[in-house]
Amino acid sequence: MATQASGGEWLTNLQFVTVETFIIQFLILLAVLWVLNKYIFRPYLAYLDEWEAKQAKVQADYNNAESILEEKQKQWDEMLEKARTKGNSVIEEAEALANSKKDKIIADAETQAQGTVIAAQKQIENERTSMLSGAKDHILSAALKLNEKIFKDEKASKDFMSKNIDSL
């Protein structure tokens, strides 16, 4: 218990607090603060400033990268739109060319078919005329033979039949 009393007395006994000890303690505090400031606080603050500068640069680079990305995306979209437009125009040109060739082929085929039909009609007409002429000659000769056998006069009937056979 005596030690407790002496400890308590020491706290209440202010004999060690003097102006000289206060000044020495204050000077030691200033020296400690100066050492801390010079070797710890300033380098740490410089490190923090450097770190903040790096973070700001990284943020600026990130923002710059975003703007570059947006610009490249716009360029990509423009190029894609141009390619689509060009592709569509190429398709339209190809369709137009195919349609014109199709129309030309159809027209040529129709012309050729009409030429074939006309040639066939002419050939049919020529064959019909040839057949009629052959039939007329055959009928005339048969009629003349019949007339000669019946009337025994070949010449009179031949003139009459030659003139009238053309009207058939």
Distances (CA, A) of 10 to 7, 17, 85, 163: 5, 12, 97, 176
What is the C-alpha separation between 109 and 101, in angstroms, rounded?
12
Average pLDDT on 67-85 reads 93
Question: Greater confidence, 164 or 33?
Answer: 33
Which are the contacts of 161, defined by CB distance < 8 A and separation ≥ 6?
Answer: 140, 143, 144, 147
pTM of the model: 0.41
Task: Give the model's pLDDT for residue 95.
Answer: 93
Residue 46 three-state SS: helix
Site of tokens 């010449």 = 155
Helix axes of 154-165 and 42-151: crossing angle, nearest 10 degrees: 150
Task: Give the model's pLDDT for residue 164.
Answer: 67
Q: What percentage of the chain reaches a pLDDT higher than 90?
A: 60
Q: How many CA atoms lie within 13 A of 53 on its CB side?
A: 6
Task: Give the model's pLDDT for residue 167.
Answer: 64
The answer to whether position 83 is within a domain reads yes
The answer to whether position 101 is within a domain reads yes
Domain span holding position 155 = 21-165
The answer to whether position 13 is within a domain reads no
The answer to whether position 154 is within a domain reads yes
Please tell me the total count of domains within the chain: 1
pLDDT in tens, 28-43: 999 999 999 999 999 9
Question: Greater confidence, 151 or 74?
Answer: 74
The answer to whether position 12 is within a domain reads no
Check pLDDT > 50 for residue 2: no
